[in-house]
Chain A
């Protein structure tokens, strides 16, 4: 029976890997998710048949409550709120690891048949509680910031780094003490408390706009927490799945950092940023008279004559809920024979890939969504680059101005297009607080207004032509 159980766990692990592999293409992705689901189902069912389980009361309660909450959240969440939802789920994953490890500890499952404590199990219990709890409290803070329960601005205080370091050292020492004296249960309670604190103080100094990195990192932690629990239970399917998720989160973290041209250390410790990408209010340092302002009517005529258009959406688009009307406009352009595509910057959203989901929800076919490297060369042959709700990711200063905080960040080559239209409320700077010289360029037409209102006007004027 134990062999059968282990083989079914192996099957589950294989299905997870195949599932993730099929997530590599939008054609197979849905099937991939189903495969992973099947793997999970097999693992759960075979575990329930295990003879260690003698009482199903609490299991059934737990499954019903958990499934109810999970299903409700999954069905009702709005796509713009995906980042906080994933943050919350990461937190639950971490909490589950903590609870399992703690339960094993309380049940005394760290001793050999002769009654001696097993050092490796005690250490992995400590690790599992530490990583799981940091993931939990860190994710809750990330959730609160993304949901707007907490202000997005970095919260810093004197001695923060020192407190971080001291907490980590304390945990290591307590872990050592626990390994020597596992019967001293209070030690694990203290580790748990410090881990809770550590999760909070390591996420509060991170600004709202850096949250994509944090969610990715916490995603990685939730995987590592599962793997640590796998070590506690000597259960390979937990270790494999945890490692897969850990690797996935780490890769996404790296991609996000690269797209912002920041090091992970800089994101985690530098406390960069204001409240959110709404940015600091700084008027243009340049002469505002050089700004070309267009009305929707003027712009519609320019679009009428255009052969090709690349739309550059930013998070401001989603905030204004203008995706649907934008796609309506794109379809009108296409019906008129204009080639339309979307250029997606890696950080155009609040989590990796977020903008793609938001546009997919607005029925934009995924073959119209192109990532930065695929489309950047095409801007020079494009008549109009239409920028909505994006700013820093199109700022040419990132390429040329060494003094700019954006310098070195990969940007979309919007300025290479034959003409540029920017829908924006005002000339204010972006998240980085840097003025955008593109606003003052001769080929740039500024369409001042709310994204949704302006695109709606564009649709109306375009129809009237």
Chain B
């Protein structure tokens, strides 16, 4: 096994722990925006997709890359926008806001 993949495994395992720490603190109130927001984050595949689509590979590879860009962009744009739309609706009681 090569070093690069070992480092990748380290990063993966440590990031899972960070994920558990951060996400267990999100209250149930916000679990739906958490899901759509984290979904948008998983659209980070787009950076791989951009290279697949633009690196001047053979046609099939480029086509697959372009499909990947489309799917990942739907994820990123749709995910962040709908999360924002939801979070905008969460408001505190007006009376208390005025205080």
Contacts and interface: CB of A to CB of B under 8 A. Distances in A.
Interface of A: 9, 12, 16-17, 19-21, 23-27, 29-30, 32-34, 36-37, 40, 43-44, 47-48, 50, 52-56, 58-59, 61-63, 65-67, 69-71, 73-75, 77, 79, 82, 85-86, 89-90, 92-93, 95-97, 99-100, 102-104, 106-107, 118, 120, 124, 215-216, 219, 222-223, 225-227, 229-249, 251-252, 255, 344, 346, 349, 351-354, 356-357, 360-361, 363, 365-369, 371
Interface in B22-80: 22-58, 60-80
B71 A99 contact: yes
A140 to B, nearest CB: 13
Interface of B: 1-2, 4-5, 8, 11-13, 15-16, 18-20, 22-58, 60-94, 96
A371 B78 contact: no
Contact of B4 (A74, A229, A234): A234
Nearest to A62: B69
Nearest to B49: A100
Given A55-B56, A62-B49, A96-B71, A352 B32 contact: yes
Nearest to A230: B8
A353 B49 CA distance: 32
B23 A20 contact: yes
Nearest to B60: A106
Contacts of A44: 46-47, 50, 76
B35 A216 contact: yes
Given A44-B46, A47-B47, A252-B35, A29 B30 contact: yes
29 contacts: A29-B90, A36-B80, A37-B80, A40-B43, A40-B76, A58-B62, A58-B65, A61-B66, A66-B73, A66-B77, A69-B74, A85-B36, A86-B39, A93-B42, A96-B43, A103-B62, A219-B39, A222-B42, A226-B44, A229-B48, A231-B12, A234-B8, A246-B16, A249-B38, A252-B35, A344-B28, A351-B32, A353-B35, A357-B33
A102 B27 CA distance: 38
B92 A100 contact: no
A260 to B, nearest CB: 14
Given A52-B51, A70-B79, 9 more contacts: A24-B22, A24-B25, A34-B84, A37-B80, A40-B41, A100-B49, A351-B35, A357-B86, A360-B86
Given A20-B37, A33-B83, A360-B91, A240 B69 contact: no
Contact of B66 (A34, A52, A58, A120): A58
Contacts of A34: 84
A96 B76 CA distance: 11
Contacts of B50: 44, 47-48, 53, 59
B78 A23 contact: no
Contacts of B75: 70, 89, 92-93, 96
A215 B35 contact: yes
A395 B58 CA distance: 61
A138 to B, nearest CB: 15
B29 A62 contact: no
A354 B33 CA distance: 9
Contact of B28 (A71, A233, A346): A346
B81 A71 contact: yes
